[in-house]
Structures are given as structure tokens and as C-alpha cells.
A and B are shown apart, each in its own frame.
Chain A
Amino acid sequence: DTAVSQTPKYLVTQMGNDKSIKCEQNLGHDTMYWYKQDSKKFLKIMFSYNNKELIINETVPNRFSPKSPDKAHLNLHINSLELGDSAVYFCASTLAKNTEAFFGQGTRLTVV
């Protein structure tokens, strides 16, 4: 059973389009995250979402919007995609008070 699953695994799209990446965790965790990993492998947190409280990273453009229908899902919607958005996006989750993060396999987004 996959603990944290993301779809799609690969996403190629044109500039200006709007796209979504879905994430689901079956671990019963309370907190979910989105991370961006750039071409240099640097992992940077974008958002964390805990019990309906969204914590926004101020450096993330408002074209990125997370949506959480329930605590097992945290989807990432991106509007007006730009070339610089090309990266691998990872979803992760943690159990409250336990900081071991479980990561999904990543979504490689390529904007052309």
C-alpha cells in the first residue's frame, strides 16, 4: 500500500495553462505539505496544512493554491504556469507531534 501517493507522476504543459496535482495519504496523518525541488535538488517547503489551517510560505506566488477537501488529501492547483515553475513537486505528510515526514514519489512538472 502506498502511504503518500501523488498523481500525475509526469506533467508536461504549455505556458499559461492551469494544472492541478493531486495528493492523498492513507497514514492517518494530520499535517500535509507541498515541497518544490528544483534542478539543483534543493527542497523548499511551499505550504503546510494542519487541521484545516493553511500555512502559506510567503515566497510562493499566489498562482499556487493548495486545496484540502479533507485531511487525507492536499491538492496543488497552479494558475498561469510559467517556465520557472518547472520542477519536481513533492507531497508529504506527518503525524501531529511526530516530525517524520513521509514523501510521495514526486510529480515532475515541465512547462514548455
Chain B
Amino acid sequence: QQQVKQSPQSLIVQKGGISIINCAYENTAFDYFPWYQQFPGKGPALLIAIRPDVSEKKEGRFTISFNKSAKQFSLHIMDSQPGDSATYFCAAGVRTGANNLFFGTGTRLTVIP
């Protein structure tokens, strides 16, 4: 059973455009929602994360929007650049206990110059 559902599978955006990736979860015990960025041949690296007590978090061109009632969260990349081309994973977990993170299936973003 997929704990975190992510869409779209792939996304093509022109340079300067907005990239939007969506995720949904079912387990209301989740209290930590990170996004990871993975470049080819590399391991995933933390990009930005949010906790359910806030509805939005912004770091530079990257913003997470969080809707607790709908159990959904999304990543917005403003002014998308070719260097943003990578695979993006949303994840969800519980901050106590085993610290297991459940990952979405990934979105391959391509930003066209």
C-alpha cells in the first residue's frame, strides 16, 4: 500500500515558469513532510520540509503548501530554472519512534531553456 501518493509522474516546464508537484497521504499520525531532490547518479538530498502546524513554508524559490484537513501538500518552484531539472520526492513520517520516512513515487521535472 502506497502511504504517500505523488503526482504528476513527469513534468515539463519552460524556464521562468512555475512547477507544481502534489502529494497526498492517509496516515494522520504523520507530522513531518519533507521534499527531496535527486539529480542523476546522486542520492536524494533534503530540499525543504514542513510540519503540520503551518500552512506554508518558503525558502527562496521553493514553497511548500500544506492542507491538513485535505491531507495534501505540494511543492511550488517559482521561476523554474534548467538547473532545477531533477527528480523530486515528497515524503511523510513521524518524528518519534523509528523515524521511518515514506516516500512518494517521484516526479521527474524537466525545465526547458
Residues of A within 8 A of B (CB): 4, 31, 33, 40-45, 48, 50, 55, 90, 92, 94, 96-97, 99-106
Residues of A within 8 A of B87 (CB): 41
Interface string of B81-113 (1 = CB under 8 A from A): 000000101000101101111110110100000
| Contact of A103 with B43 at beta-carbon distance under 8 Å, contacts A31-B98, A41-B87, A43-B89 already known | yes
B interface list, Cβ under 8 A from A: 32, 34, 36, 38, 41-46, 49, 87, 89, 93, 95-96, 98-103, 105-106, 108
Cross-chain contact of B105 among A4, A33, A41, A102 (Cβ < 8 A): A41
Q: Are A103 and B45 in contact (CB under 8 A)?
A: yes
The CA-CA distance from A20 to B15 in the complex, in Å, is 43
Which residues of chain A come closer than 8 Å to B105, judged between CB atoms? 40-42
Cα(A42)–Cα(B42), bound, Å? 14
**Beyond A41-B108, A101-B36, A101-B101, 15 extra complex contacts between A and B, CB < 8 Å:** A4-B43, A42-B103, A43-B106, A50-B98, A55-B98, A90-B44, A97-B96, A99-B32, A99-B93, A99-B95, A99-B99, A99-B101, A101-B34, A101-B44, A105-B42
